[in-house]
Amino acid sequence: MSSRPPLTVLLASPRGFCAGVDRAIQIVERAIAKYGAPVYVRHEIVHNRHVVDRLKALGAVFVEELAEAPADRPVVFSAHGVPKSVPAEAKSRQMLYLDATCPLVSKVHVEAQRHFEAGREIVLIGHAGHPEVVGTMGQLPDGAVALIETVEDARAFAPRDPANVAFVTQTTLSVDDTAEIVAALRQRFPAIAAPHKEDICYATTNRQDAVKAAAARAEVLLVLGSANSSNSVRLAEVGRRSGARAYLIDDADGLDWAWVAGVRTIGVTAGASAPEVLVQGVIARLAERFEVTVEESDAARETVTFKLPRAVA
């Protein structure tokens, strides 16, 4: 008989890489294979330290601004999207650039442009300073987009024409928080133009649903992801709201044994930018002290894939 206490690990599914992240990483890998190192990447390609470190080892050089990249080497734009000024600058310097913006983020850019051309005042629901928000606001002239982060912001927003307002959202928000903000906007502006299809992406929604299902049964939830990953931070928040003690950790080294003392059921998931190897690392670490039984909890099946740019396809 094992002297280790039993522990059921509920693996939330889906978890980990989404199609947009997978595509962005492939673009960097293929650019290095095709053009040789170094390939420059403007901003972290996705918000995960392990992914970034692995790509650095392959020959990627990460910079915050295009000015830090030489004109004679390829540059990749991150999955979060960039302001229009960035490709314009790359063209003016005759740089070879590859745009790894997630197609679902690009869809939000197109929507914002459409509302602007229709003369509507645009509200963007999102987090100030997040690269995706910077990129979306940067699609249009300064002042064309008002950022709303909270229900309070929605109540305080004062448009020029309350009958001519539209909203778009960041793709990685909390589904529940965003619904509250949208409800506050709709209450004040019944005619507000909404996205044709929700802007919060399928992967964010699916991972939050999977966490709710796991957290309903688990005492503790471990979320694999980096602290600067919006969707990973949201998963931990959703887990806490669903009744679990939730912790965001980069990898197995972030596990504190005090969190799982006396616990019989633990949920494990990973943000959309976190590789599956990190999840398996946590399970292996737990198995050092517990008799682990793994259960996969299926919330949804994901079959989405996105085409690569022609330059690296």
Does one domain contain both 114 and 137? yes
Beta bridge partners of 266: 9, 220
Task: Specify the pLDDT at position 227.
Answer: 96
Name the band, by pLDDT with cuts 50, 70 and 90, for residue 23. Answer: very high
Residue 75 inside a domain? The answer is: yes
Could you say which of 57, 81, 99 is where a domain stops? 99
What is residue 223's predicted lDDT score, i.e. its pLDDT? Answer: 98
| Mean of pLDDT values over 49-62 | 97
Average pLDDT, the chain: 96
Query: Is residue 110 one of the residues assigned to a domain?
Result: yes
CA distances from 109 to 22, 84, 120, 133, 254 (A): 20, 10, 15, 10, 36
Q: Do 63 and 120 reside in the same domain of the chain?
A: no
218 plus 164 within the same structural domain: no
pLDDT at 164: 97
Same domain, 59 and 112: no
CA dihedral 200, 236, 134, 56 (to 10 degrees): -110
Task: Say whether both 34 and 70 belong to one domain.
Answer: yes
Is residue 94 within 8 Å of residue 70, measured between CB atoms?
no
- Supply the CATH number for residue 32's domain: 3.40.50.11270
- Asked if the structure places residue 34 within a domain, the reply is yes
Q: Which residues pair with 8 in a beta bridge?
A: 265, 293
- Whether 111 and 191 share a structural domain: yes
Q: How far apart are CA 88 and CA 256, in angstroms?
A: 47
User: Looking at the structure, do residues 195 and 208 belong to the same domain, yes or no?
Assistant: no
In a domain, 149, yes or no: yes
Structural domain contains residue 311: no
Which has the minimum average pLDDT: 28-37, 203-212, 235-244, 290-299?
A: 290-299
Which residue in the list 29, 44, 111, 132 is annotated as catalytic? 132
Q: Are residues 274 and 217 in the same domain?
A: yes
Residue 197 is predicted with a pLDDT of 82
Of 10, 87, 73, the residue nearest 268 (C-alpha): 10
- The neighbour count for residue 289, using CB atoms within 10 Å, is 13
Asked whether the beta carbons of 172 and 231 are under 8 A apart, the reply is: yes
Least confident span in 94-108, 141-155, 299-313: 299-313
The pLDDT of residue 57: 98
162 with 186, same domain? yes
Q: Is 51 helix (H, G, I), strand (E, B) or coil?
A: helix
Residue 2, pLDDT > 80, answer no
The pLDDT of residue 301: 85
Half-sphere exposure of 40 (CA within 13 A, CB side): 18
Residues 127 and 92 in one domain: no
Bridge partners of residue 99, in order along the sequence:
77
Q: What is the mean pLDDT of residues 70-89?
A: 97
Both 33 and 49 in one domain: the answer is: yes
- Prior bond of 14 cis (ω within 30°): yes
Mean pLDDT of 95-117: 97
Domain assignment present for residue 190? The answer is yes
1 belongs to a structural domain:
no
| Phi and psi, residue 222, nearest 5° | -105, 125
Q: Give yes or no: 44 in active site.
A: no
Residue 294 has pLDDT above 70, yes or no: yes
Residue 15 corresponds to which tokens in the numbers above? 């978890």
User: Considering the domain boundaries, does residue 308 fall inside one?
Assistant: no
Indicate the length of the chain as a whole number: 313
Structural domain count, the chain: 3
Same domain? For 194 and 279 the reply is: no
Alpha helices in the chain (DSSP H): 19-35, 49-58, 85-92, 103-117, 131-137, 151-156, 175-188, 202-215, 230-241, 276-287
78: its two tokens: 């991150």
Give one DSSP letter per residue of 246-296, joined into a string: EEEESSGGG--GGGGTT-SEEEEEE-TTS-HHHHHHHHHHHHTTSEEEEEE
**Domain end (from 40, 64, 99):** 99
The predicted-structure confidence for 155-170, as pLDDT tens digits, reads as follows: 999 999 999 999 999 9
Range of the domain at 239: 6-17+202-298
Say yes or no to pLDDT of 1 above 70. Answer: no
CATH number of the domain residue 164 falls in: 3.40.1010.20
Residue ending a domain, choose from 147, 175, 199:
199
In this structure, of 46-50, 181-185, 299-303, the range with the lowest mean pLDDT score is 299-303
